[in-house]
């Protein structure tokens, strides 16, 4: 029997990043890359995506070294998705300088047979039509979540809302939650997004933490206070990997009547922990050395500094 795996779709990219701490001209990135790398600390992870002929063997080897299943990663003629961004002095704002979809522009994901019956699916940030296309091929999925960003909200709110309406949970940052819902108050924004279909919404607030909303309850955590933030790129995706990976590790069912709220809250903490580690170095660098022991230690730190 096939081991249960979390299927992740999203961008697999090369990024150019500039923060007050320095610059990288071309470094491994992409929503799928960050999510799969972080989720792999908790669960078996299988990715769906596309890269160009310029994608380095050593980058594939890094993903494989974390146990990420690459059967659904196609390599085709052309260039890998490229994104570049620059951060403000306090790193709370980021300007996108360039988004080149490249091989993602014509990508028609065809899921390997071994993925199609998996129960867990996370749709990382990429064109909403691709997210929906993958979800339709996952005939047995009983746990579907996803992420999005301002570009896709600006390009077509209606089709994005249609895509999201089939999800159990949405992870989104605060400014994008406001844009998507048209509400400035975050509690109202969450309520509106829940009305689109998901039963759970997590609003990420960068260094200020995260808030989880369901119909009848909410939960808030502060961000982990890092001594130095090097590069926040991918922190949102690492949150997604920690949050989703932990729920998969627990065999969580978000659709049942008896949702274990304590586990759901722990998932928010693991998301915050993974997001914080991501910021400690450029790009995916911190994930080359990070251990599960360090993750669990920081989880315990969180418990200590929020208990009262
Ligand atoms: P985050 O900082 O969590 O928003 O994630 C940053 C990553 O998202 C980078 O590695 C980019 O390659 C990727 N990215 C940026 N814009 C897009 C986009 N429009 N679609 C898909 N991935 C993107």
Transcribe 32-99 into DSSP letters.
Answer: HHHHHHHHTTTS-EEEEEEE-TT--HHHHHHHHHTT-EEEEEEE-SS--EEEEEEE-TTSS-EEEEEE
**Cα 308 to averaged position of ligand 1 atoms, centre (Å):** 37
Written as tens digits, the pLDDT of the chain (308 aa) is: 567 899 999 999 999 999 999 999 999 999 999 999 999 999 999 999 999 999 999 999 999 999 999 999 999 999 999 999 999 998 988 999 999 999 999 999 989 998 999 999 999 999 899 999 999 999 899 899 999 999 999 999 999 999 999 999 999 999 999 999 999 999 999 999 999 999 999 999 999 999 999 998 999 999 999 998 999 999 999 999 999 999 999 999 888 778 899 999 999 999 999 999 999 999 999 999 999 999 999 999 999 999 88
CA–CA distance, 202 with 126 (Å, rounded to integer): 18
The residue segments making up the domain with residue 21 are 5-306
**For the CA of 83, the nearest atom of ligand 1:** 12
CATH number at residue 78: 3.40.1190.20
Read off the pLDDT of residues 201-234 as tens digits, 9 standing for 90 and up.
999 999 999 999 999 899 999 999 999 899 999 9
Question: What token pair was written down for 9?
Answer: 């779709």
In this prediction, residue 125 carries a pLDDT of 93
Residue whose Cα lies nearest atom 13 of ligand 1: it is 30
pLDDT at residue 258 in the model: 81
When the pLDDT of each residue in the chain is averaged and rounded to a whole number, the result is: 95
Q: How far is the CA of 78 from the centre of ligand 1 (A)?
A: 19
- Ligand 1 pocket (Cβ < 6 Å) reads 11, 13, 15, 29-31, 83, 99, 125-126, 149, 151, 233-237
What pLDDT is recorded for position 255?
Answer: 84
b/e sequence 11-47, b meaning 16+ C-beta within 10 Å: bbbbbbbbbeeeebeebbbbbbbbbbbbbbbbbbbbb
Domain count, the chain: 1
Question: Relative to the CA of 127, which ligand 1 atom is closest?
Answer: 20
Work out which ligand 1 atom sits closest to the CA atom of 125. 21
Tell me the C-alpha distance between 303 and 159, whole Å: 39
Q: Ligand 1 centroid vs 199 CA: distance in angstroms?
A: 25
The CA 82 to ligand 1 mean position distance, Å, reads 9
């Amino acid at each position: 029997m096939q081991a249960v795996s979390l299927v992740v779709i999203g961008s697999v990219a090369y990024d150019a990043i500039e923060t007050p701490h320095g610059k990288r001209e071309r470094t491994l990135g992409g929503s799928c890359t960050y999510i799969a790398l972080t989720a792999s600390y908790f669960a078996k992870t299988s990715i769906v995506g596309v890269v160009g002929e310029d994608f380095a063997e050593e980058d594939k080897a890094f993903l494989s070294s974390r146990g990420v299943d690459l059967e659904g990663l196609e390599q085709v003629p052309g260039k890998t998705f490229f994104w570049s961004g620059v951060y403000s002095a306090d790193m709370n704002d980021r300007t996108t300088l360039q988004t080149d979809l490249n091989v993602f522009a014509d990508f028609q994901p065809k899921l390997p047979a071994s993925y199609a019956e998996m129960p867990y699916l996370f749709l990382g940030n990429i064109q909403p039509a691709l997210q929906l296309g993958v979800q339709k091929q996952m005939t047995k999925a009983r746990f579907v979540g996803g992420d999005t960003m301002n570009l896709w909200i600006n390009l077509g709110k209606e089709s994005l809302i249609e895509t999201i309406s089939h999800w159990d949970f949405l992870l989104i940052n605060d400014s994008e939650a406001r844009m998507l819902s048209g509400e400035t108050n975050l509690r109202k924004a969450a309520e509106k997004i829940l009305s689109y279909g998901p039963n759970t919404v997590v609003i990420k607030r960068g260094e200020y933490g995260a808030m989880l909303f369901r119909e009848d309850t909410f939960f808030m955590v502060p961000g982990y206070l890092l001594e130095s933030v090097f590069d926040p790129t991918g922190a949102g995706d690492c949150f997604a990997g920690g949050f989703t990976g932990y729920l998969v590790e627990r065999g969580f069912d978000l659709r049942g009547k008896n949702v274990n709220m304590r586990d759901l809250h722990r998932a928010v903490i693991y998301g915050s922990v993974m997001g914080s580690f991501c910021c400690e170095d450029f790009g995916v660098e911190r994930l080359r050395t990070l251990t599960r022991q360090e993750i669990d230690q920081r989880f315990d730190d969180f418990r200590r500094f929020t208990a009262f």
